[in-house]
Amino acid sequence: MFDYIIIGGGTAGCVLAARLSEKPNTTVALLEAGAAPDHVVLRCPAAAAVLARTGQWSTQLATLAQPGLNGRQVTLQTGQILGGSSATQPAHWQPAQREDYDHWAAEGNVGWGADDVLPYLHKAQAQLALDPDDAPHDLALASQFLQGAQSADYPLHADSLHFAGRGASLLKQLRHQGVRQTAASAYLQRTTLERTNLRVFTEAHAMRILIDHHRAVGVEFVHAGQTMQLHAAGEVVLCSGAIGSAHLLMLSGIGPHKQLVQKGIATVHHLPGVGQTLHDHLCLTLPMRTPHATNPLALTLGGLWTFARAWRQWRSTHSGLLAGNFNPAGAFIVSEDHLRTPDLQVSLYTQPWAAREHMLGWASGYACSLHLLRPASRGRVALASKDPFAAPVVDPDYLGVRFDMERMVRGFKVMRTILEQPSLKTLGGVELASTARARNDVEIEHFLRENAHSAHHMAGTCRMGNSADDVVDAQLRVHGIAALRVVDASVMPRLVSADPLATTLMIAEKAADLLQAGMA
């Protein structure tokens, strides 16, 4: 019997396990489907560029065919390791725009406005203890990008640590003393894991939440080949991400009644919003080929030799080319001049293979990615079957709303304008034929439909609010079920206009206080 059972040892789960177990008389169990992050490559900042693609430490889910992407399926990646996506995705510390949080509060979520959440953002940032310097090896190209953004009428900001708004800056990488910083490394340090009141189960696959008379009392899971149960005297906290949390709720009989019945699951509580309003940041990469080497780690024989030397340097001193994630700078931009808050982001990749879809092969160059920060399109997560090991049905409905395509086309033009500024033109970069022929709106739209992909920033499937279609209240308690909360990106009423990692950490920090207040 534990006071708290946390299902999911990802970004939010690590925070909660650490904070709730700070009190010696409070017992906490943390369940994570993945393994402990023991491999040295997980500590290398540069590895973030490719970790999620390997599949070794992440779950790869294929969406339904997307009409907005010419019928293509898109692969969604979620971290399956202690630390979750904070350990596998190339994330940055980016608090969202002030208006993002104020929008949550305006929808009736008291306590979630920008001024309310700022102390928790500061608390999480302090815990990460990030290195003060940015772009240790690729500052020259980052500076040229920032000059280009400034020439395109986007002001420069000192950093990306605050509610900066429209403009460009260096990006704060998740790095501490040259080593990648994750939710697991920052919160579940050795002294934390040695607490006698904290039990961490890795490679533990949750099957269902145990419910008794509309109260969560525990979890059933598979660990080391055995089906086991744990029981909670206090609360069960679901931290399995935008896809996993909605999926487990439905497997436990909490969700849309009609769907549960169709899959042979007894309805514990009809909650129609579970799995609905899925949304994500859609991405598009624009690679630039250069006539001479701009990146020492290009996919060439020389680049591979340089990589081998850089790996030895990082292993011995945690410095050098591999002490960064090759995404040192970015710009928050607007699709329409009258907008006060950015709805698009352009990110620079100094190693083109570090971008999601680089398309350069062995050529030298760099790349930029465009992110749609405020998608209007909404999708869903649904049950494929009642088998807990079967992947759910995932349909983000990318570009399902025409307005999203219009903004992406405008953003593509802004990204191209930045890349055509004199500061970057000196590199001699040229577009590939596939992008160069996308000049007018129709051609750009076709290129988008054929090449856009996910930023893996899924959110919204257990939406916070007070309407009949919402899943949790402002205290993150599941409507209609006692002693059950959801704490992860799935509760965001609207996905934030930034990398969601900082916001997810903030949600967990705030949730820890909410839980402890409830226990008191």
**Per-residue model confidence as pLDDT tens digits over 301-335:** 667 778 788 889 989 998 888 888 888 899 999 99
CB 133 within 8 A of CB 159: no
Distance CA 13, CA 11 (A): 6
Helix intervals (H) in 107-154: 114-128, 139-151
pLDDT in tens, the chain (520 residues): 999 999 999 999 999 999 999 999 999 999 999 999 888 888 888 887 777 667 778 889 999 999 999 999 999 999 999 999 998 888 789 999 999 999 999 999 999 999 999 999 999 999 999 887 665 567 888 999 999 999 999 999 876 666 668 899 999 989 888 899 999 999 999 899 999 999 999 999 999 999 999 999 999 999 999 999 999 999 999 999 999 999 999 999 999 999 999 999 999 999 999 999 999 999 999 999 888 766 666 666 667 778 788 889 989 998 888 888 888 899 999 999 888 889 999 999 887 665 655 555 556 788 999 999 999 999 999 999 999 999 999 999 999 999 999 999 999 999 999 999 999 998 888 898 889 999 999 999 999 999 999 999 999 999 999 999 999 999 999 999 999 999 999 999 999 999 999 999 999 999 999 999 976 5
What's the pLDDT score for residue 62?
97
Sign of the torsion formed by the C-alpha atoms of 121, 126, 132 and 138: negative
Q: Distance of CA 32 to CAs 79, 124, 205, 239, 309, Å? A: 11, 21, 7, 10, 35
Instruction: Show me where the domains of the chain are located.
Output: 1-53+77-132+181-278+457-519, 135-170+280-376+400-451
Number of H helices, E strands in the chain: 15, 25
DSSP conformation class of 464: B
DSSP conformation class of 471: -
**Which residue out of 137, 358, 457, 479 is catalytically annotated?**
457
1-53+77-132+181-278+457-519 and 135-170+280-376+400-451 have identical folds: no
Residue matched to tokens 């206090």: 234
Q: Which CATH superfamily hosts domain 1-53+77-132+181-278+457-519?
A: FAD/NAD(P)-binding domain (3.50.50.60)
Distance CA 432, CA 363 (A): 11
Side chain identity at 458, as an amino acid letter?
M
- Does the annotation mark 457 as catalytic? yes
Following CA atoms 366, 170, 453, 472 in sequence, which dihedral angle do they give, to the nearest 10 degrees? 170
- The angle subtended at Cα 148 by Cα 147 and Cα 149, nearest 5°, is 90
Distance CA 285, CA 76 (A): 16
3-state secondary structure of 254: strand
Residue 284: left (phi > 0), alpha (psi -120 to 50), or beta? beta
3-state secondary structure of 431: strand
Query: Which has the closest alpha carbon to 372: 401, 405, 418, 338?
Result: 405
CB 172 within 8 A of CB 130: yes
What's the pLDDT score for residue 294?
62
CB 334 within 8 A of CB 166: yes
CB 309 within 8 A of CB 302: no
- CATH 3.30.410.40 is the classification of domain 135-170+280-376+400-451: yes
What's the pLDDT score for residue 45?
86
DSSP conformation class of 215: B
